[in-house]
Amino acid sequence: MKAEYTDTPDPVPQRLRALRKDSPELCKAALLYESLLPLLREADLMVTPVFLTSDQAMRKLQSGLPLLFDMELGIDLTAASGLMIRLARVLEQAGVGEGSSFSARSIRLAVKEDRLDVGALLAQAASEERGAITSTALDLDLDSGLLWTLTKDVLRPAFREWRRQLTPLTEDILWNRGECFVCGASAILAELRDNNLVRFLRCGRCGADWHFSRLQCLYCGNEDHRTLSYLYTEGEGEKYRVEVCEKCKGYIKVITTFSPTPPELLQVEDLATLRFDFIAQGRGYSRKTDIPAG
Ligand SMILES: [Zn+2]
Ligand SMILES: [Zn+2]
């Protein structure tokens, strides 16, 4: 496993411009990302450094535990609140979607006026406790979906930093699971590289990538080719497809790429392939990264 991305030309604005041109229906969302992504990139949450020896890292992975499992993770709360306020302000000004300006404004003010416990929210988002965030939102009359998304976004720069600190330890370690070996989040996308012979999974939270068998369902481990298949659209099968498993009804979107997608572009690629979510979900498959509200 290796993951360090120090690309010199900035691929993000370029990719977003192409997306706006190719998919006019995603134009508003792409414009929004153009404003949000630089905030996430520039954010310095002053995370506490994480340390593991190579032996400790290897033992954790061999026991099936992600590297960050059980580690003390520290983020500067003033910096995190500031980032949440800046992200909410962009959404407020963009006003995409019905009521979202109002929802974003309400969250921004709740953070600014200290009515929201940002530390508790971050801890809940880090352990995927959506229910707890939903009840906080209900108590304060805030949009629970937006609060969940914003809190997860605030965490992204921190997890990326921890991933950068830890991945040099794990060059040759095997990890055959659908959850990220660094942070434990479910894979957001799969990539086929090296002339389609090798499949990698990507983590949307920390940006990690890891090799995963091509002929296996990442959710249930099913290896029976009769119950694993692809969905794709006319003319796009080479570049984009969806892998589906009949056994667990899970799906994951797959992109063919020459080189690993830079971490901050993963969300953009997820957006760019939104139509495949509709196709797969329309046929009764679900992406196991989607945690139901409640
Ligand atoms: Zn991760
Ligand atoms: Zn499955």
Q: Which residues surround ligand 2, an ion (CB under 5 A)?
A: 217, 219-220, 222, 245, 247-248, 250
What percent of the chain has a predicted confidence (pLDDT) above 90?
A: 66
pLDDT band at residue 3 using 50, 70 and 90 as cut-offs? very low
Q: Whole-prediction pTM value?
A: 0.89
pLDDT at position 151 over 90: yes
Give the number of the ligand closest to the Cα of residue 66: 1
Q: Which CATH architecture has domain 174-282?
A: Alpha-Beta Complex (3.90)
| C-alpha 101 to ligand 1 mean position (Å) | 30
Residues around ion ligand 1, judged by CB within 5 A, are: 180, 182-183, 185, 203, 205-206, 208
Average predicted confidence (pLDDT) for the chain = 89
pLDDT mean over 268-288: 92
- Residue 291 has a pLDDT of 47
- Closest ligand (CA of 216): 2
The model's pLDDT over 81-92, given as tens digits with 9 standing for 90+, comes to: 999 999 999 999
pLDDT tens for each residue of 91-121:
999 876 556 889 999 999 999 999 999 999 9
Q: How far is CA 24 from the centre of its chain?
A: 23
CA of 161 to the centre of ligand 1 (A): 11
User: Span 112-137, mean pLDDT?
Assistant: 95
Domain with CATH 3.90.1670.10 in the chain: 174-282
Edge-to-edge order in the sheet of strand 198-203:
209-211, 198-203, 187-193, 251-256, 240-245, 228-231
Calculate how far, in angstroms, residue 111's C-alpha sits from the geometric centre of ligand 1.
Answer: 26
Looking up tokens 């996430």 gives: 40
CA of 24 to the centre of ligand 1 (A): 31
What does the angle CA 239 – CA 242 – CA 244 come to, to the nearest 5 degrees? 150
Task: Let me know: does 270 contact 204? Beta carbons within 8 Å.
Answer: yes
List Cα–Cα distances, 200 to 1, 35, 132, 191, 279, in angstroms: 10, 29, 32, 5, 22
Which tokens belong to 73?
């993770």
**Which position has the higher pLDDT, 5 or 195?**
195
Top-confidence residue, 16 or 81: 81
Q: Considering the chain, what percentage of its residues have pLDDT values greater than 70?
A: 93
Residue type, position 53, single letter = T
Q: Which ligand is closest in space to the CA of residue 206?
A: 1
**Could you give the C-alpha distances from 136 to 120, 131, 133, 265, 269, in angstroms and in order?**
10, 9, 5, 30, 31
Contact 35, 13 (CB under 8 A): no
Residue 12 pLDDT > 80, yes or no? yes
Centroid of ligand 2 to alpha carbon of 246 (angstroms) = 7
Distance (Å, rounded) from C-alpha 269 to C-alpha 193?
A: 16
**Sign of the Cα pseudo-torsion (276, 279, 281, 284, in order):** negative
